[in-house]
Amino acid sequence: MQKLNTAAQMRQMDYTAMHGKYGIQPAVLMENAGHAVAERADEYIHGWAGKDVVVVCGKGNNGGDGFVIARHIAAAGARAYVYILGQAEEYSDESQQHLSTLQAMEDDESCLLTYFGGTEREWRVLRQRLQSCQVVVDAMLGTGFHGNLREPVSSIVGLINEIAAAGALTVIAVDVPTGVNSDTGAVSGSDEEENGPLFADMTVTFGALKRGLVLYPGRTCAGHVELDAIGMPAPLLVQPEEKPAYLLQESDIAEVLVPRSPDSHKGSHGTIGIVTGCSDMAGAALMAAHGAVRSGAGKVFLRVPAQTAPYCIGRQPEIMVRGVGQGEYFTEADAVSVLDECAAWSVIAMGPGMGRHEETKAFVKAILAHGECPVVLDADALNLLAGEKDFVSSLDRQVIMTPHLAEFSRLSGLSVAEIQEDPFAAAVQFVKEWRVTLVLKGAPTLVVSAKTGNVYVNPTGNAGMACGGMGDILTGMIAAISARESRPDICSAACAGVYLHGAAGDACRRQIGSYGFTPMEVADAVPGVIRRMEEEMAVPLLQAPMILD
């Protein structure tokens, strides 16, 4: 897992490194940061030697990093044209220190300083420089940026974007691309294009990943992201923050990839009860069931309203289907027969294609109110439960809710725009109030643990998955994974489900292309993805076979 920090958490981390017991000199940390950019971008741009590079340095410490970068790339054989946006005396002590070193190099042709005042001539020269150089280093604004870009930064960003779009100019961002809010991924000028953010090819970020680098639209501006520890003491790199957020990595889901016990049987791998569907959405029920099968479920029972059953029976022979009641959708009276079976199930999933009839709401509440096994709620089950916070939060069982943005908006009462403004805050607040594990689906999907309030961001998945039915597959996957032999805790199961689902979507994109792969194909890709992960992580697929003779 990689920490995903806010600007405030970064300030605290920097402060502890410098002023707490570790006592690292501020200028040393800045030196490490600047050196890290020069080193890490070297390979990306195929070496600094012989390159003309414009380094634009803002007024804050991001600009200070730029001074260090200019010195290192000049030493590596580049010619650095350094544009300085602040007055020397405005800079922090450590930035001033690095600026003085650069000033002492001024006679050297490798490093040319311009104190940018914004005269017409200066703009003209800057444009020419940008047109003739090969690389731009964006050291204008980092974690200190908020709001909309002001001049002259705004126009410099516009100029760089324009020239980069037209030609062979590589843009390297320092810590965070200028104009991206490092906490939320919001960007400058979303409603006025001229104040838009910088689009970088590569971002070298320091100490911890920033949330704005993984959330859209900021993620689009960051390009290829590399994280450098910049010499931070190891405990600070891993120490949990007060309200932690993490980016999931493949190794994090190893918990669910433990090999099957060689003597296990179908009962060891979970009995999944999928209770969902209605007459015009039988496919959703089948897709959820298929997601469970492809994720390794021991047994999958599908319970659908009676009139949906004929469509489902026999479609997939491994799924055990029974029609409940007599109608086209579930009603409260149908709950009794399902509740009779629930006691033997490891997990229940409800919601895909269930319809939004009032009677179905009573059915869902009746199922939830009895029994102890975990429940995964998606789609219409969520729509039906909007306004039922008190009921859900007082349930004595583990609940995972998997809304997409519109469903989450209905549940939380927040508008989609409000959620997008700060999805972390909205998701964490919701989990606190509803006492459920939340899978807020989207690009990217966030998982928030009911137990800890920790946020996990999923890096896998692609826009080819924006297609009806993808979420239904995920519902079945999470249900099946939560019931695996290793019995992962509910949040780990949700994280693993989301990660595998996205990775299966990525495998489909590679094999089929960005358009037109289906939810069923994504489910079918899951076993292959698990096999690849097992091989790459050297988790044995099977225990060594016994040799009997």
Ligand X SMILES: NC(=O)C1=CN([C@@H]2O[C@H](COP(=O)(O)OP(=O)(O)OC[C@H]3O[C@@H](n4cnc5c(N)ncnc54)[C@H](O)[C@@H]3O)[C@@H](O)[C@H]2O)[C@@H](O)CC1
Ligand Y SMILES: Nc1ncnc2c1ncn2[C@@H]1O[C@H](COP(=O)(O)OP(=O)(O)O)[C@@H](O)[C@H]1O
CA atoms of 324 and 239, how far apart (whole Å): 51
Closer of 174 and 366 to K ion (Cβ):
174
Residue 61, marked binder: yes
Closer of 158 and 371 to ligand X (Cβ):
158
65 binds ligand X (CB under 6 A): yes
> Binding mask 201-240 vs ligand X (x if CB under 6 A, - otherwise)?
-----x----------------------------------
Span 367-386, contacts to ligand Y by CB under 6 A: 379
Residue 146, marked binder: yes
118 binds ligand X (CB under 6 A): no
| Other residues' Cβ atoms within 10 Å of the Cβ of residue 305 | 27
Closer of 72 and 501 to ligand Y (Cβ):
501
Residue 461 contact, options ligand X, K ion, ligand Y, none, Cβ 5-8 Å cut-off depending on partner type: ligand Y
H or E segment and range at residue 455: strand 455-457
Residue 378, marked binder: no
User: 458: buried, middle or exposed (CB in 10 Å: 19+, 13-18, 0-12)?
Assistant: buried
Residue 64, marked binder: yes
Span 124-143, contacts to K ion by CB under 5 A: 138, 142
CA atoms of 106 and 479, how far apart (whole Å): 64
State how far Cα 221 lies from the chain centre: 15
Shortest distance, CB of residue 381 to ligand Y, whole angstroms? 12
Shortest distance, CB of residue 195 to ligand X, whole angstroms? 9
What number of CA atoms fall less than 13 Å from residue 360's CA on the CB side? 26
Stretch that binds ligand Y, among 114-122, 145-153, 465-473, 532-540 (CB under 6 A): 465-473
Shortest distance, CB of residue 239 to ligand Y, whole angstroms? 30
Task: Out of 66, 291, 471, 488, point to the residue binding ligand Y (CB under 6 A).
Answer: 471
Task: Out of 4, 136, 174, 257, point to the residue binding ligand X (CB under 6 A).
Answer: 174
471 binds ligand X (CB under 6 A): no
CA atoms of 294 and 300, how far apart (whole Å): 11
147 binds ligand X (CB under 6 A): yes
Shortest distance, CB of residue 207 to ligand X, whole angstroms? 7
Residue whose C-alpha is closest to residue 426's, from 158, 285, 215, 154:
215
Asked whether 353 and 303 are in contact (CB, 8 A), the reply is: no
Rg (CA), the chain: 27
524 binds ligand X (CB under 6 A): no
Number of residues this chain uses to bind ligand X (CB under 6 A): 28
Asked whether 436 and 400 are in contact (CB, 8 A), the reply is: yes
Shortest distance, CB of residue 47 to ligand Y, whole angstroms? 34
Task: Out of 355, 442, 476, 488, point to the residue binding ligand Y (CB under 6 A).
Answer: 442
CA atoms of 176 and 181, how far apart (whole Å): 8
Residue 185, marked binder: no
Task: Out of 466, 537, 539, 541, point to the residue binding ligand Y (CB under 6 A).
Answer: 466
Edge to edge, the sheet with strand 437-440 lists 209-210, 2-5, 245-247, 455-457, 446-448, 437-440, 399-401, 375-377, 347-350, 271-275, 299-305, 319-324
| Other residues' Cβ atoms within 10 Å of the Cβ of residue 415 | 10
**How big is the chain, counted in residues?**
549
CA atoms of 383 and 239, how far apart (whole Å): 38
62 binds ligand X (CB under 6 A): yes
Stretch that binds ligand Y, among 137-145, 234-242, 334-342, 463-471 (CB under 6 A): 463-471
Shortest distance, CB of residue 205 to ligand X, whole angstroms? 8
Residue 143, marked binder: yes
Closer of 217 and 231 to ligand Y (Cβ):
217
Tokens representing 290?
């298929």
CA atoms of 361 and 346, how far apart (whole Å): 23
355 binds ligand Y (CB under 6 A): no
290 binds ligand Y (CB under 6 A): no
Tokens representing 74?
């000049």
Residue partners of 153: CB distance under 8 A and separation at least 6: 58, 85, 140, 141, 178, 179
Helix 61-75 and helix 26-44, axial crossing angle in degrees, nearest 10: 60
Binding site for AMP: what residues are annotated? 441-445, 471
Provide the annotated binding site for (6S)-NADPHX.
Answer: 61-65, 142-148, 175, 284, 353, 404, 472
Q: Contact positions toward ligand Y, by CB under 6 A?
A: 379, 404, 441-443, 445, 461-463, 465-466, 468-472, 474, 501
Q: What are the binding residues for K(+)?
A: 62, 138, 178
Residue ranges in contact with K ion by CB under 5 A: 138, 142, 173-174, 178
Residues in the site for ligand X, rule: CB under 6 A? 14, 26, 29-30, 33, 58-65, 141-150, 153, 174-176, 206
